[in-house]
């Protein structure tokens, strides 16, 4: 989660506290919208330092999809 928060803060310019809230909101949204088998894996992905690079890549793609920084 720390890596995700750091990435959100760096890419958006948000202070860390706001970046954490943003990351938590997105995680909650994904858990609610994804099928149960995928939703149950979100915490594992977010909290596993071995997949931080993958999460960062996904965040960048998501931001590009929604018109964020490229």
pLDDT in tens, 16-68: 999 999 999 999 999 998 888 888 888 888 887 676 666 666 677 767 766 66
Q: How many structural domains does the chain have? A: 1
Q: What is the pLDDT of residue 68?
A: 61
Q: Is 8 exposed, middle or buried (0-12, 13-18, 19+ CB in 10 A)?
A: buried
Query: Is residue 33, in this structure, part of any structural domain at all?
Result: yes
Instruction: Output the pTM of the full model.
Output: 0.65
Is residue 70 one of the residues assigned to a domain? no
Is position 44 within any domain? Answer: yes
Structural domain range at position 12: 2-65
At residue 41, the pLDDT reads 83
Tokens of 24: 């938590």
pLDDT value for 35:
87
Judge whether 45 lies within some domain: yes
């Amino acid at each position: 989660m720390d890596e995700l928060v750091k990435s959100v803060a760096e890419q958006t310019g948000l202070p860390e506290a706001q970046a954490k809230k943003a990351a938590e909101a997105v995680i909650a949204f994904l858990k609610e919208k994804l099928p149960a088998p995928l939703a149950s894996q979100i915490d594992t992905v977010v909290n596993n330092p071995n997949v931080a690079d993958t999460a960062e890549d996904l965040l960048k793609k998501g931001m590009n999809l929604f018109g964020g920084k490229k």
